[in-house]
C-alpha cells in the first residue's frame, strides 16, 4: 500500500509542472485516486499555478498602469476555468482534471471576451449539504428581489452531491424551486450531465425538477458562462447580498 | 545565420515584449521598472541576436538577458539588499493600502512579498511554462535549487494570499460592527 508521504512536495510540484516521466506520473495519478491527502496537495500546487496565471494574465505594456483594468483573455479564462475544474474535481472525484488543466502559452493578442453589462451570477453547488442548499436559495431569492425589473440574471449549476437540490421527489426545496422558476424568468437551474450520467450508471432512479436544464457537463457550462461575463460563485463561499 | 533568419529572430524578439513584461513585472513588482528592463532586454537581444546559436533557445536566452539586467539594476541601487532578502514593495503604492484587494492584486501583492530568487523561478515556471532544466540554464543555477526555490515560493505565495483573505474578512467584520455601533449612537441622540 502506498503511503501518502511517499511523494514529497517537490515531486508533486514536478508532477504538476509536467516534469516527471510517465511512470512516476502514473503512480502519482494512482495515488491521487486513492489518497485524499495527495489529491489535496496536488490541488494546492495547481491552485498556486493558476493564481499566478490569473495574477499576470493582463500584464502587458498597453495596460501596465493598473491591474484593475483587467480584461478576460484566453489565458485568464483558462486559469479560472482550471480553478473551477479543481473545485469540481475535488467534489466529484479526481477524474479528468489533471489532463484537462494543463494549458499552453496564451497569445498576448488573445481576444477580449467579456464586457459585463448587467449583473449575472453563476452559483455552483457540488455538495449535498442542506445548509448550502438553503443559503443558495436565499441568495437567489434576495438577488431576484433586488434586481426585479432589470435584466440581471442568476443561474444555479449543480453537480455531484449538489444534484440532490434539484432532484424531484428528494429535494427538500422542490416546491420553493418550482415557485421561484414560475415567478421569475431570469433564473436558471442547471444539472451537470456528467453527474446525472454517473448516477444513472450506478442504477440510481433519477428525475429532475421540471424546467431544470440538462444538456452539458458542469465544466462546459461554467467555462461558457465565465466567457459570457458571468460572475462565478461557489455556494460554500457565499456571503449574503 | 542568414540575413533572413536574423530578421525573423529580431521580429520574434520585438514581438515578445508582453511576455517579457509579464515576467519582469513578477520579478520586480514595479510597472515602470519592468518596462525599462524589457526595453533594455529587447535592445540587447536585437543587438546581439547573431550570438544566438539555437533559435529554439531564444526565450531562455532573452530571460538570461533580462536576469542580467535586473541584477545590474539591483547592484546599482545604493543600499540594495542581498537578492535572497530583496523585497521591493514593502510599503509601496495603493496595492498595500487597498482594503479589498481583488484576486489579481492579491496575487501581485503576494508575489512582491517573496524573496527575489523565488519570484524568478516561480514566474518562469508558471507564467512561461519553462522546464526546470530551462530555468536552471536561464538563471545559471542547479536544477535542485530550482525545485527547492519553486517549492518555497509556492508555499509562501499561498500562505500570503490565504492570510490576506483572512485579514480582509476580519476588516469587513470590524467595519460592519463599527457601522452598527454608529447606528445605535444615532438612535441614542
Which chain B residues have a beta carbon less than 8 Å from that of A10?
A: 147-148, 150-151
Residues of B in contact with A108 (CB under 8 A): 18-19
Choose the closest CB to A10 out of B123, B129, B147: B147
Question: Is B26 in Cβ contact with A56 (below 8 Å)?
Answer: yes
Q: Is the pLDDT of residue A73 over 60?
A: no
Stretch A15-28: mean pLDDT: 92
CB A39 within 8 A of CB A32: yes
The number of C-beta contacts closer than 8 angstroms across A and B is 93
Whether pLDDT at B79 is above 90: no
pLDDT band (50, 70, 90) for residue A57: confident
pTM: 0.53
CB proximity A206 to B under 8 Å: no
Dihedral over Cα of A38, A44, A50, A53: its sign: negative
Choose from A45, A50, A56 for mutation: most chain B CBs within 10 A: A56
Q: Which residue of A has its CA nearest to B39?
A: A61
Q: Name, in order, each residue with C-beta under 8 angstroms of A143's C-beta and a sequence gap of 6 or more.
A: A121, A152, A154, A241
On chain A, the residues whose CB falls within 8 A of the CB of B150 are 10, 13
Put simply, the answer to whether A67 touches B104 (Cβ < 8 Å) is yes
Q: What are phi and psi of A91, to 5 degrees?
A: -85, -30
Distance CA A48, CA A83 (A): 10
Identify the H or E element spanning A92: helix A74-92
A108 touching B, CB under 8 A? Answer: yes
Q: How far is A130 from chain B (nearest CA, A)?
A: 24
The burial of A55, by beta-carbon neighbours within 10 Å (0-12 exposed, 13-18 middle, 19 or more buried), is given as buried
Cα-only R_g, chain B: 21
Confidence of residue B159 (pLDDT cuts 50, 70, 90): very high
Indicate yes or no: CB of B127 within 8 angstroms of CB of A56: yes
The arithmetic mean of pLDDT across residues B160-183, rounded, is 78
For every residue of A158-202, which 3-state class applies, written as one string? Answer: ECHHHHHHHECCCCCCHHHHHHHHHHCCCEEEEECHHHHHHHHHC
Chosen from A15, A59, A68 to mutate, greatest number of chain B CBs within 10 A? A59
Query: What is the end-to-end Cα distance of chain B in Å, rounded?
Result: 84
Give chain B positions within 8 Å (CB) of A19.
131-132
* Element containing residue A83 per DSSP (H, E): helix A74-92
Distance from CA of B137 to the nearest CA of A (A): 15
B9 has pLDDT over 50: yes
DSSP label at A70? -
ipTM above 0.90, yes or no: no
- Which residues of B fall within a CB distance of 8 Å from A51? 103, 107, 157-158, 161
Q: B76 falls in which pLDDT band (50, 70, 90)?
A: confident
Q: What is the pLDDT of residue A138?
A: 93
Beta carbons of A56 and B161 less than 8 Å apart: no
Q: pLDDT tens for residues B83-135?
A: 554 444 444 444 444 443 578 888 999 999 999 999 999 999 999 999 999 99
Q: Please, which residues 33-52 of chain A have a Cβ atom closer than 8 Å to chain B?
A: 44-45, 47-49, 51-52
Residue A10 in contact with partner chain B when CB distance is under 8 A: yes
Three-state secondary-structure class, residue A208: strand
Which three-class secondary structure string do you get for chain B? CCHHHHHHHHHHHHCCHHHHHHHHHHHHCCHHHHHHHHHHHHHHHHHHHHHCCCHHHHHHHHHHHHHHHHHHHHHHCCCCCCCCCCCCCCCCHHHHHCCCCCHHHHHHHHHHCCCHHHHHHHHHHHCCCCCHHHHHHHHCCCHHHHHHHHHHHHHHHHHHHHHHHHHHHHHHHHHHHHHHHHHHHHHHC
What mean pLDDT comes out for the span B143-170? 90
What domains appear along chain A, each with residue ranges and CATH number? 4-104 (no CATH), 114-237 (3.40.1260.10)
The pLDDT value recorded for residue B63 is 94
Each residue's pLDDT tens digit, A76-123: 556 666 666 655 555 554 443 443 333 333 333 323 333 334 689 989
Give the residue with greater pLDDT, B112 vs A149.
B112
Contacts of B140 (CB under 8 A, 6+ apart): B64
A204 Cβ under 8 Å from any chain B Cβ: no
Q: Is the CB of A56 less than 8 angstroms away from the CB of B154?
A: no
Amino acid at each position: 500500500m502506498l503511503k501518502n508521504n511517499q511523494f514529497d512536495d517537490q515531486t508533486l510540484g514536478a508532477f504538476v509542472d509536467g516534469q516527471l516521466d510517465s511512470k512516476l506520473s502514473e503512480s502519482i495519478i494512482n495515488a491521487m485516486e486513492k489518497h485524499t491527502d495527495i489529491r489535496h496537495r496536488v490541488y494546492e500546487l495547481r491552485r498556486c499555478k493558476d493564481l499566478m496565471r490569473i495574477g499576470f494574465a493582463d500584464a502587458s505594456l498597453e495596460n501596465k498602469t493598473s491591474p484593475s483594468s483587467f480584461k478576460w483573455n484566453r489565458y485568464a479564462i483558462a486559469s479560472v476555468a482550471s480553478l473551477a475544474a479543481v473545485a469540481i474535481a475535488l467534489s466529484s472525484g479526481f477524474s479528468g482534471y489533471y489532463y484537462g488543466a494543463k494549458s499552453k502559452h496564451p497569445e498576448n493578442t488573445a481576444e477580449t471576451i467579456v464586457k459585463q453589462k448587467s449583473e449575472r451570477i453563476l452559483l455552483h453547488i457540488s455538495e449535498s449539504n442542506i445548509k448550502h442548499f438553503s443559503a443558495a436559495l436565499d441568495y437567489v431569492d434576495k438577488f431576484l428581489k433586488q434586481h426585479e425589473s432589470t435584466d440581471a440574471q442568476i443561474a444555479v449549476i449543480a453537480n455531484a452531491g449538489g444534484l440532490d437540490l434539484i432532484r424531484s421527489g428528494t429535494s427538500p426545496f422542490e416546491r420553493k424551486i418550482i415557485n421561484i422558476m414560475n415567478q421569475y424568468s431570469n433564473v436558471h437551474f442547471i444539472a451537470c450531465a456528467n453527474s446525472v450520467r454517473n448516477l444513472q450508471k450506478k442504477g440510481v432512479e433519477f428525475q429532475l425538477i421540471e424546467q431544470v436544464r440538462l444538456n452539458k457537463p458542469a465544466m462546459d457550462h461554467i467555462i461558457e458562462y465565465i466567457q459570457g461575463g458571468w460572475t462565478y460563485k461557489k455556494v460554500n463561499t457565499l456571503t449574503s447580498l | 545565420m542568414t540575413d533572413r533568419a536574423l530578421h525573423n529572430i529580431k521580429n520574434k524578439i520585438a514581438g515578445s515584449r508582453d511576455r517579457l513584461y509579464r515576467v519582469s513585472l513578477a520579478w520586480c513588482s514595479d510597472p515602470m521598472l519592468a518596462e525599462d528592463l524589457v526595453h533594455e532586454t529587447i535592445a540587447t537581444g536585437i543587438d546581439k541576436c547573431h550570438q544566438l546559436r539555437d533559435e529554439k533557445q531564444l526565450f531562455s536566452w532573452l530571460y538570461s538577458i533580462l536576469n542580467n539586467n535586473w541584477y545590474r539594476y539591483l547592484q546599482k541601487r545604493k543600499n540594495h539588499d542581498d537578492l535572497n532578502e530583496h523585497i521591493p514593495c514593502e510599503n509601496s503604492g495603493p496595492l498595500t493600502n487597498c482594503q479589498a484587494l481583488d484576486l489579481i492584486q492579491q496575487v501581485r501583492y503576494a508575489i512582491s512579498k517573496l524573496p527575489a530568487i523565488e519570484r524568478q523561478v516561480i514566474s518562469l515556471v508558471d507564467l512561461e511554462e519553462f522546464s526546470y532544466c530551462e530555468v536552471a540554464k536561464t538563471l545559471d543555477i542547479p536544477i535542485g535549487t530550482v525545485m527547492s526555490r519553486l517549492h518555497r515560493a509556492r508555499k509562501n505565495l499561498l500562505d500570503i494570499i490565504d492570510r490576506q483573505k483572512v485579514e480582509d474578512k476580519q476588516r469587513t467584520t470590524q467595519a460592519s460592527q463599527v457601522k452598527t455601533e454608529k447606528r445605535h449612537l444615532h438612535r441614542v441622540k
